[in-house]
Amino acid sequence: MSRETSILVVGSVAYDTVETPFGKAEQVLGGSASFFSVAASFFAPVNLVGVVGDDFGDKELAAFKGRPIDVAGLERAAGKTFHWQGKYSYDLNSRDTIRTDLNVFEHFKPRIPESYRRSGLVFLGNIDPALQRSVLDQVQKPRLVACDTMNFWISGRLEELKKTLERVDILLINDAEARQLSGEWNIVKAARVIRAMGPSILVIKKGEHGVLMFSEHGSFAAPAYPLESVFDPTGAGDTFAGGFIGYLAGAADESDDVLRRAVIMGSTLASFCVEAFSLDRLVALTRAEIDERFRLFKKLTHFESL
Amino acid sequence: MSRETSILVVGSVAYDTVETPFGKAEQVLGGSASFFSVAASFFAPVNLVGVVGDDFGDKELAAFKGRPIDVAGLERAAGKTFHWQGKYSYDLNSRDTIRTDLNVFEHFKPRIPESYRRSGLVFLGNIDPALQRSVLDQVQKPRLVACDTMNFWISGRLEELKKTLERVDILLINDAEARQLSGEWNIVKAARVIRAMGPSILVIKKGEHGVLMFSEHGSFAAPAYPLESVFDPTGAGDTFAGGFIGYLAGAADESDDVLRRAVIMGSTLASFCVEAFSLDRLVALTRAEIDERFRLFKKLTHFESL
């Protein structure tokens, strides 16, 4: 049997209203599963599970069309689509949530279509850890399970989250979340504590400061690509995850070399994401542009041995 | 004539009293020129210019002994040595200055001994930019001039600083200083503005987030080494500069390859500096340990092309 490369992603599909120092975008496509799916679809087939309301139109769906993204698992419920509104500080380094209307996402119970159940990789987006486990209960022995979470679940659902982490191979979180989850300030100590909870691979996202990965092979550090204009950081973390998991899905194994290139691929995709609002840059992206920026990452970080 | 590899460094030699979450060190050797000199001395001869008071004893001088550090230019003045006292936050990411007694450093006028004037490289530590220029007026065509500065001079002596920068090849500052000096938040834009002021090479130090270098060859990003225990960050920036300039001094040219390895060497030395108070780790360090950690930096950052 051939190696199963398809990726099941469960997460939010949303409307975002975003204000940055450079402009405002109203009711544009957002959500973790949206960014993840488009990024991952450059490398492997994606099986999307999420929920939208009856206000979700063909215009938004167009972002997924013409790509290997299966939307059979994108449930349509009566009501409005999840809506998030945020405003970034002048330096883009912090943001305030103006409003969050969960709408149909509030009672989202992931139902995995029969055709998705043999997906080779699973990405559990940032939802209630008990729901994340319910997804794992519905799939058949995926090759790799990856997971995101956030401060809300770490502080409010820690025991549930720990049960989920026991079944996870790869955890992708930011540095503040890693510190909160582990109770350790030092990031190396934090990584050891978290990896003992289950995930053998921990990817810590540090925004403009890049990414640290910890695994049985040791640690790997990658910078963020230094961009002259960062337009809108929304979705960068989910896009990183999409590039990272997508690259792993399409690779021949999960060796240290592959994991390292996957981190760079995630960083590459994320560096495009922030160049425009919503998924605007991602949907216009070509594989040639991706490979060229990957090559620039190599130039950015390479040095010769002594 | 052979290539002149000696480094002239002008800066502070001080007593530090430092409190971290892990302990307190009273009246220990500190100062930018001290950290710089010991770090650089692993690679090239160092000519030290600074001032100490009559309280500065053999115990402190011992840090420079047995190394290629010439202290003929370390002036001894009547009065007390510069004393800085600081306390770090629990996470080591911020510090409060408890007190600063400039003492003999207040009226420091760098006098460059005749035997130092042909130094191949000059490192202007963080002093009044007019004094930095007075050093350049006393030396003969150094191969490279490098320079540090701080927020105090950027806000209070900007025009003087700009005159100095016109004569500088390499500026080493932190990210906050780069933003302040350029008036640009975006670090890529900031680098372009600063390089137009004179320094063709700009090294931006980001502490635990590593280093970005901008030059005519493009940009280079290096992470900080992820350490399990950071004991005392005091002097890490000056130690970075010492490793960086020291490596350049001993190298055959200033090619992009050499500059990149110099950044990693600076980061390597800095990663040892923070493992103990004062210069305690640096003075116990061996070249074999340095080379081994440089090798680990390669392992930390390396990835294969697609």
Helices marked H in A139-222: 151-156, 158-165, 175-182, 187-195
- Is residue A1 a part of any domain in this protein? no
State pLDDT tens for residues A230-252.
Answer: 999 999 999 999 999 999 999 99
Count of residues making up chain A: 306
Which residues partner with A122 through β-bridges? A8, A145
Identify the three-state secondary structure at position B234: coil
What is the rounded radius of gyration, in angstroms, for the C-alpha atoms of chain B?
18
Task: Please give the DSSP secondary-structure letter assigned to residue A185.
Answer: S
Contacts of B90 in chain A (CB under 8 A): 185
Which among A280, A276, A267, A209 is positioned nearest to A241, based on CA atoms? A267
Residue B246 lies in a domain: yes
For chain A, the distance separating the N- and C-terminal CA atoms, rounded to the nearest angstrom, is: 46
A174 chain-B contacts, CB cut-off 8 A: none
Q: List residues bridging with A203 in a β-sheet.
A: A172, A213
d(CA B211, CA B264): 9
Cβ–Cβ < 8 Å for A17, A56: no
**Which residue in the block uniquely carries the two structure tokens 């799916």?**
A37
In a domain, B14, yes or no: yes
Q: Write out pLDDT tens, residues A209-221.
A: 999 999 999 999 9
What is d(CA A148, CA A94) in angstroms, rounded to the nearest whole number?
Answer: 20
Choose the closest CB to B91 out of A185, A219, A304. Answer: A185
Beta-carbon contacts of B189 under 8 Å, excluding residues fewer than 6 positions away, are A228, B182
Q: What is the pLDDT of residue B149?
A: 97
pLDDT at B91: 81
Dihedrals phi, psi of A14, to nearest 5 degrees:
-140, 165
Dump pLDDT digits (tens) for A127-145: 999 999 999 999 999 999 9
Q: What is the rounded CA–CA span in Å between residue A177 and residue A148?
A: 10
- What tokens were used for A196? 């003992």
Tell me how close the Cα of B58 comes to any Cα of chain A, in angstroms: 36
Distance in angstroms (rounded) separating the CA atoms of residues A220 and A202:
10
Q: Is B159 domain-assigned?
A: yes
State which residues form the domain around A127.
7-301
Strands A7-10, A121-124: pairing is parallel
Only one residue has tokens 């003045």, namely: B77
**Cβ–Cβ below 8 Å for A220 and B187:** no
Rounded CA separation A257/B299 (Å): 11
pLDDT digits (tens), chain B, 306 positions: 457 899 999 999 999 999 998 899 999 999 999 999 999 999 999 999 999 999 998 888 999 999 999 999 999 999 999 999 999 998 887 899 999 999 999 999 999 999 999 999 999 999 999 999 999 999 999 999 999 999 999 999 999 999 999 999 999 999 999 999 999 999 999 999 999 999 999 999 999 999 999 999 999 999 999 999 899 999 999 999 999 999 999 999 999 999 999 999 999 999 999 999 999 999 999 999 999 999 999 999 999 999
Choose, out of B303, B305, B306, the residue to mutate when testing the contact with A (most A CBs < 10 Å).
B303
Give the CATH number for residue A151: 3.40.1190.20
Q: Tell me the pLDDT band of A91, cut-offs 50, 70 and 90.
A: confident
pLDDT over threshold 90, residue A184:
yes
Say what the pTM is.
0.96
The shortest CB-CB distance from B223 to any of A189, A223, A291 is to: A223
Q: At what angle do helices B256-273 and B32-40 cross, to 10 degrees?
A: 120
What pLDDT does B93 receive? 79
Q: How many helices (H) and strands (E) does chain A have?
A: 11, 13
C-alpha–C-alpha distance, residues B281 and A165, integer Å: 39
- Report the length, in residues, of chain B: 306
Contact in structure between A72 and A63 (CB atoms under 8 Å): no
Which backbone phi and psi does A17 adopt, to 5 degrees? -120, 115
Q: How many domains, chain A?
A: 1
Residues of B in contact with A188 (CB under 8 A): 226-228
Residue B232 belongs to a domain? yes
Q: What percent of chain A has pLDDT over 90?
A: 94
Domain-located, residue A306: no
Instruction: Give the C-alpha separation, B154 to B159, whole Å.
Output: 9
The secondary structure of residue B278, as a DSSP letter, is T
A135 assigned to some structural domain: yes
CB pairs under 8 A between A and B: 102
Q: Is residue B306 part of a domain?
A: no
